[in-house]
Amino acid sequence: MENDEERRKPGRPRDATVDDAIMDAVVDLLTEFGFRGLTIDAVAHRAGVGKATIYRRWSSKEALVLDAWMACYPVEAVPDTGSLTGDLIAHSRQFRDAVTTGVFGRVLPQMVAAARVNEDLAEVFRRLVAERRARVRVALDRAVERGELSAGVDLELVQDLLIGPLFYRTLMSGEPSSDELIAEVVAIVLAGVLSTAG
């Protein structure tokens, strides 16, 4: 068996306040200059920290930014509105807002690009996606239980159908996704799923 507490390493322990200072600095600089304009030197200076201290904790600029960026993701539970349509609309709006506004939305494309190149990031990235989908899954499972969806429906595909268009509009065509549009998407997808499954 392991030690009661895992064995304390010798030497001075890491200063936890430093992590926060670094994270804050990254978010600040990300807001101000974006991903491309962010430099490790600037982070170190803004956080009042040596560069080595940063590299001791993160292996690269991408990993550092990913951490700070994920902390900006607004993790909200998918609300239980009573109807599947209501739940999905609520969540779609959350997603749209997260992807459109603030630091998170601003940096998203860069992180997608970085994840394509770096497998470590890709892994973390996949976890972020999976975590969000699991929360939506809860609402879908609820709907199955209520009989709003038949058991044979591919619930993962439903998520792709709902989120995909919003994601695409934001990144590719650059057009906004209004509340009305979201409602329409939800309506069409649910109608399609129901009539197809039957």
Partner DNA sequence: CGTTAAGCGAGACGGTACGTCGTGTCTTTGT
Partner DNA sequence: ACAAAGACACGACGTACCGTCTCGCTTAACG
Contact with DNA (CB under 7 A) among 32, 34, 50, 126: 50
Distance CA 84, CA 144 (A): 9
Q: Pick the closer one to DNA by CB: 7 or 172.
A: 7
191 binds a second copy (CB under 8 A): yes
Q: Pick the closer one to a second copy by CB: 94 or 110.
A: 110
> Shortest CA distance to 140 belongs to which of 78, 52, 64?
78
To DNA, the closest distance from the beta carbon of 102 in angstroms equals 22
Q: With contact defined as beta carbons under 8 Å apart, do 65 and 30 qualify?
A: yes
C-alpha distances in Å from residue 167, one per residue of 60, 139, 145, 147, 148: 27, 20, 29, 29, 26
To a second copy, the closest distance from the beta carbon of 182 in angstroms equals 11
> Shortest CA distance to 164 belongs to which of 142, 136, 143?
136
160 binds a second copy (CB under 8 A): yes
Distance CA 94, CA 92 (A): 5
**Region for 32 from its dihedrals, namely left if φ exceeds 0, alpha if ψ lies in -120 to 50, beta otherwise:** alpha
* Residues 7-26, mask of contacts with DNA (x by CB under 7 A): xxxxxxxxx--x--------
75 binds a second copy (CB under 8 A): no
- Per CB under 8 A, the segment of 1-9, 15-23, 28-36, 82-90 that binds a second copy is 28-36
Residue labelled with tokens 């929360």: 135
From the list a second copy, DNA, none, partner contacted by residue 81 (C-beta under 5 to 8 A by kind)? none
What the block records as the tokens of 53 is 């201290």
To DNA, the closest distance from the beta carbon of 61 in angstroms equals 4
Distance CA 116, CA 107 (A): 14
Site residues for DNA per CB under 7 A: 7-15, 18, 37-42, 45, 47-53, 55-57, 60-61
| Interacting residues with a second copy (CB under 8 A) | 34-36, 106, 109-110, 112-113, 115-117, 122, 125-126, 129, 133, 154, 157, 160-161, 163-169, 171-174, 181, 184-185, 187-193, 195-196
